[in-house]
Chain A
Amino acid sequence: MLRDITLGQYYQTDSVIHRLDPRVKLVTTICFIVSLFVVDNFIGYLIAGVFLAVVIKLSKVPLKYMLRGMKSIVFLLLIAVVFNLFLTPGEAVVTFWKIKITMEGIRQAVFMAIRLVFLIIGSSVMTLTTTPNNLTDGMEKLLGPLKIFKVPVHEIAMMMSIALRFIPILLEETDKIMKAQIARGADFESGNLIKKAKSLVPLLVPLFISAFRRANDLAMAMEARCYRGGEHRTKMKPLIYKKRDGLAYGVVVCYLTLCIVVGRGFI
């Protein structure tokens, strides 16, 4: 039931991409997104497309999982395309009534669509091949240098991983409270929006109380197990770069250079 929900959208399989260090994947995703906005010709997008296709092929994740994320942005995509198509000034190709479609508009619209689609697919490759846990670890390590600016990097990462651990528990609790309130005659279904929102109060109040109680218990349990922040702490699963990670960084650097050189029309 609720306990079986998978968080994020991790797809369990064994591939080169899965085995890469989460830091590599985070950096690659950022580089990929940057490359999408640097590039402004078709060859550039072709390179990005080929790169993405190769990564997807290597990750062994079925394509339909990648495309699942697209559903949520169809609307956004449509708006972006329509605006670019009709509102870009330039030489008109088609004109009817007050609306004109320009060559530049078509170009912009197509590029925008490609950008958005690649962006979503690119970032889902990362979330599909990395466990939330690993991602948190990677982020903690990557943001490590921010510690000199007093950013509580370890604490943020710890909060994220505790949140991830408690989401299924709190979901189940919500379900339980909901059933208990329904048994007492609460009605969560009928009425207009305001009435529905009001009917959530008897659900949210007990949920918050219970969440605070859990937080209190957990804090005590953590202290009892000698937790005292990130200092002097060792890692059970430390992130260590392997040969393949270095290789991956190399590939990413090559890709980014290629994108800038070709995609910007320097050649």
Chain B
Amino acid sequence: MGIIEAKNLVFEYIRRDEEGNVEGITRAIDDIDIDIKQGDFVAILGHNGSGKSTLAKHMNAIHYPTEGTVWVDGKDTSDDANLWDIRQEAGMVFQNPDNQIIGQVVEEDVGFGPENLGVPTAEIWQRVDESLKAVGMYEFRKHSPNKLSGGQKQRVSIAGVIAMHPKCIVLDEPTAMLDPNGRKEVIRAVRALNDVERITIILITHYMEEIIHADKVFVMDKGKIAMEGTPREIFSQVEKLKELRLDVPQVTLLAHELRKSGLDIPKGILTCEELAAALGLPKNK
């Protein structure tokens, strides 16, 4: 069993009218099985309304399954006794950086999680310093979060999660509100955590460029897992991705079109360098 496992997971949003009568039921997650290994970098893709955020919220016990079970590190999320352990082990970073920073000073925000866990003061400081260094925000520790850029704020949020010493971090579209530079910053920080600290990363996104380094990719559609595999396996099926209304990275698309028009290049090209090599071009800058 991996760090996160879901079996026959079903989740339904129930809409009620003003008197509390059930108006309609939306099945956001429809019978999903998922198993995530410790230390992996997993990406979950899907267009709006595919159920990917709902799935993420199950990994932190914010939502409970309507049917089926989710285990985080072997603990059932629907058991209230496990609630705080699960939330400590599976940290969560949300989309809007402004709405998840609680402290008025960067270091105080990072200390918020450990404070809640009842960590002794001296250790809180140690954890805060470590976490801020891990995301490269140490020199901003005395700043007000309001004066940081979006990418910096998101890195502070990530530091706030790391300070709780989680086993995995679930990032729910952390880059959706950022500019391209901020996106790069955040993804670089996340990858470093995965490489150096071996923290399991579950990245939910709809930017294809962010997932090429993932160990495993899940593509969601209408509450089901539509595709599953390594980035290369996923991106070699350009037509299917288009059916699911997802874009592929530009290089992959170019390689796909070239292949279709008869050039002999392999499937699933992910980077410019690979394409250049496949075309037999000399290596240059």
- The verdict on A226 contacting B94 (CB below 8 Å), with A217-B100, A234-B124 known, is no
Interface assignment of A227: CB less than 8 Å from any CB of chain B: yes
Measured in the bound complex, the distance between the Cα atoms of B145 and A3 in whole Å is 10
Decide if B113 touches A226 in the complex (CB within 8 Å).
yes
Decide if A236 touches B124 in the complex (CB within 8 Å).
yes
Decide if A236 touches B99 in the complex (CB within 8 Å).
no
Closest A residue, CB atoms, query B88: A226
**0/1 per residue, A1-34, Cβ < 8 Å to B?**
0011000000000000000000000000000000
Decide if B92 touches A218 in the complex (CB within 8 Å).
no
Pick out which of these stretches binds chain B: A138-146, A163-171, A241-249.
A163-171
For B115, what are the chain A residues with a Cβ–Cβ distance below 8 Å? 233-236
For B237, what are the chain A residues with a Cβ–Cβ distance below 8 Å? none
Measured in the bound complex, the distance between the Cα atoms of B95 and A224 in whole Å is 13
For B119, what are the chain A residues with a Cβ–Cβ distance below 8 Å? 234
Number of A-B contacts (CB under 8 A): 91
Measured in the bound complex, the distance between the Cα atoms of B108 and A132 in whole Å is 14
Partner of A225, one of B99, B105, B161: B161
Interface assignment of B51: CB less than 8 Å from any CB of chain A: no
Decide if B99 touches A224 in the complex (CB within 8 Å).
no
Residues B126-176 near A (CB distance < 8 A) = 128, 145-147, 160-161, 164
Interface assignment of A162: CB less than 8 Å from any CB of chain B: yes
- The verdict on A168 contacting B113 (CB below 8 Å), with A226-B87, A228-B84, A234-B119 known, is no
Decide if B121 touches A234 in the complex (CB within 8 Å).
yes
Nearest Cβ on chain B to A165's Cβ, whole angstroms: 5
Decide if B128 touches A165 in the complex (CB within 8 Å).
no
Nearest Cβ on chain B to A138's Cβ, whole angstroms: 15
* B: interface residue count bin: 35 or more
Partner of B103, one of A3, A165, A224: A165
Number of interface residues of A (CB under 8 A): 29
For A217, what are the chain B residues with a Cβ–Cβ distance below 8 Å? 94, 96, 99-100
Nearest Cβ on chain A to B155's Cβ, whole angstroms: 15
Nearest Cβ on chain B to A134's Cβ, whole angstroms: 10
Measured in the bound complex, the distance between the Cα atoms of B84 and A233 in whole Å is 13
Decide if A165 touches B101 in the complex (CB within 8 Å).
yes
**0/1 per residue, A198-232, Cβ < 8 Å to B?**
00000000000000001001101111111110001
Nearest Cβ on chain A to B164's Cβ, whole angstroms: 7
For B91, what are the chain A residues with a Cβ–Cβ distance below 8 Å? 224-225
Decide if A236 touches B121 in the complex (CB within 8 Å).
yes
Decide if A226 touches B84 in the complex (CB within 8 Å).
yes
Interface assignment of A127: CB less than 8 Å from any CB of chain B: no
Partner of B116, one of A133, A164, A227: A227
Decide if A224 touches B60 in the complex (CB within 8 Å).
yes
Nearest Cβ on chain A to B7's Cβ, whole angstroms: 23
Binding site for A on B (CB under 8 A): 60, 62, 84, 87-88, 91-92, 94, 96, 98-105, 107-108, 111-121, 124-125, 128, 145-147, 160-161, 164
Binding site for B on A (CB under 8 A): 3-4, 132-133, 161-162, 164-165, 168-169, 214, 217-218, 220-228, 232-238
A-B contact pairs, 25 of them (CB 8 A): A3-B147, A132-B104, A133-B108, A217-B100, A218-B99, A218-B102, A220-B94, A221-B94, A221-B99, A222-B102, A224-B60, A224-B62, A224-B91, A225-B87, A225-B91, A225-B112, A226-B87, A226-B113, A226-B116, A226-B117, A227-B116, A234-B124, A236-B121, A236-B124, A236-B125
